[in-house]
Structure 1
Amino acid sequence: MLIGILQCGHFPEDLQGESGDYDAMFERLLAGENFDYATYNVVDGDFPEGPEACDGWLITGSRHGAYEDHDWIPPLEDLIRAIRDAGRPLVGVCFGHQIIAQALGGKVVKFDGGWSVGAQTYQFEDGPLTLNAWHQDQVVALPDGAQVLASSEFCANAAVAYGDRIYTVQAHPEFTATEVDGLIRKRGPGVVPDALLANAADNLNAPLGSSTIAKRFAATFRGEK
């Protein structure tokens, strides 16, 4: 099964030495699922010909906002709707979670509650899961037919399903302690409040539920409920 990874940004170049870019992180997250991958750097204008180019699709995070004026965002929204209409499975993470909601009629804003960074616990239907996060933007209004699958006091729409073929999460299950530590040191200072960075640093080794989310991504790609 060929999974198309739609990269909507690049992990900071000075942190890629150990982590690689987003596509490498997702390939590690989904290791053992026997998928093949094709990467399209949509942030750089590299788009597939259409939804049939791959069997399933994954939209990554980004430093950009879904609501920002970039020439690659409208065609990405068109592609999202085309993927939905074609019945191809689609997974979205952080920015991917947000742009899918926006493309399907929801609303994304720079959240006035501030940042969420590091290990965060979300209440899923079958219990709590802790995942790494790094975001300020949030989905604040959902499209018709969306089903909330997870939430927290800080993030009401933390995981969302659109039927059986689209599954999105606000957190970054592909981030390990390595990625979060790098962001804390290299990207957080002067941007994220010091107290939040300190708390994230203190919880770098918190047990994570990333493998559970990886299984849910794989099930979505395979059309398994």
Structure 2
Amino acid sequence: MATVTILQPDHAHTIDRFDAWLTQCGITLETVHLWEDPVPTLADLGDGVILLGGFMSSHDGIDHPWIEPVGWLLKEAIHNHLPVLATGLGHQILAQAYGGHVAVPGPSGLEEGASELTLTDAALSDPIISHVAKNQVLMGFLSHSDAVERLPQDSRLLASSTAYNYQAFRIGSGLALQFHPEASPAQIARWHVAQGGEEEPLLSALQAVDGRVSFNGQRIAYAFAEQVGVQPPPIVR
């Protein structure tokens, strides 16, 4: 049985729907709460690692001293060909660790809700994103104000939105996604409320397209499971 380590930056950004999807693949999940647990070593990560989002900035290393060590850990994991998935803030931390630049805030401001992302040709051969590359468009849930403005050298751009160019990239065994394939409509709405917004009409708008988004999320989860050496069950739609 494979084990995947979940690096969780704050209480609000949980693994959410990935919990069930990865468990269905026979994967054991070990969660590290970065606000209170020590940053693990490479030997602690098992067969793969997922770095989730968070309300803090990737530049907030003084207030959150785990940020830089987590970046080093992900680089070490990728150097050793360990499957890495980074979403939201995780996407930004991974880019920063490899010398990319993160704007705080991004020049286009808040990007929130369901969005259609345009996939690059490189995405069509990516071991994970190719599973959701229908017509080179991918719909996902977004919730961010900070944004990657320069990709790391040797990375491959996989997806862009109308507001921000760098929505997904791959570097070695690492996949970074600004969108949140793990998040349900309820979780996105909770983040919105936590930052002073109203639950509606955002929640209803997300629920209206969630059949498409959740199918993409499950396929991403299952494709990541394949990267850690597990054969996922068939997806029934």
Q: TM-score, normalised by structure 1?
A: 0.82
For structure 2, the 5+ residue unaligned runs are 121-132, 229-237
CA contact (8 A) 1:45 1:72 kept: no
Q: Which secondary structure does the structure 2 equivalent of 1:150 belong to? A: strand
Q: Which amino acid aligns with 2:185?
A: A
Shift of 1:143: 0.7
> Could you say which residue in structure 2 is the equivalent of 1:95?
89
Q: How does 1:41-80 map to 2 (within 5 A)?
A: 41-51=33-43, 53-69=45-61, 70-80=64-74
> Could you say which residue in structure 1 is the equivalent of 2:191?
183
Shift of 1:29: 4.4
1:169 correspondence with 2:177? yes
Q: Does 24-33 or 34-43 show the bigger shift?
A: 24-33
CA contact (8 A) 2:158 2:168 kept: yes
CA distance in 1, matches of 2:68, 2:170: 22
- Equivalent pairs counted in the alignment come to 208
> Could you say which residue in structure 1 is the equivalent of 2:150?
141
The percent of aligned pairs where both chains have the same amino acid is: 24
Q: Which secondary structure does the structure 2 equivalent of 1:209 belong to? A: helix
CA distance in 1, matches of 2:204, 2:215: 22
CA distance in 2, matches of 1:96, 1:52: 19
Q: Which amino acid aligns with 1:211?
A: F
CA distance in 1, matches of 2:32, 2:98: 21
For structure 1, the 5+ residue unaligned runs are 12-20
CA RMSD of the aligned region, Å?
2.3
Q: How does 1:1-225 map to 2 (within 5 A)?
A: 1-11=2-12, 22-51=14-43, 53-69=45-61, 70-109=64-103, 110-125=105-120, 126=133, 127-163=136-172, 165-189=173-197, 200-201=202-203, 203-204=205-206, 205-207=208-210, 208-223=212-227
Q: TM-score, normalised by structure 2?
A: 0.78
CA distance in 2, matches of 1:49, 1:113: 36
CA distance in 2, matches of 1:53, 1:177: 29
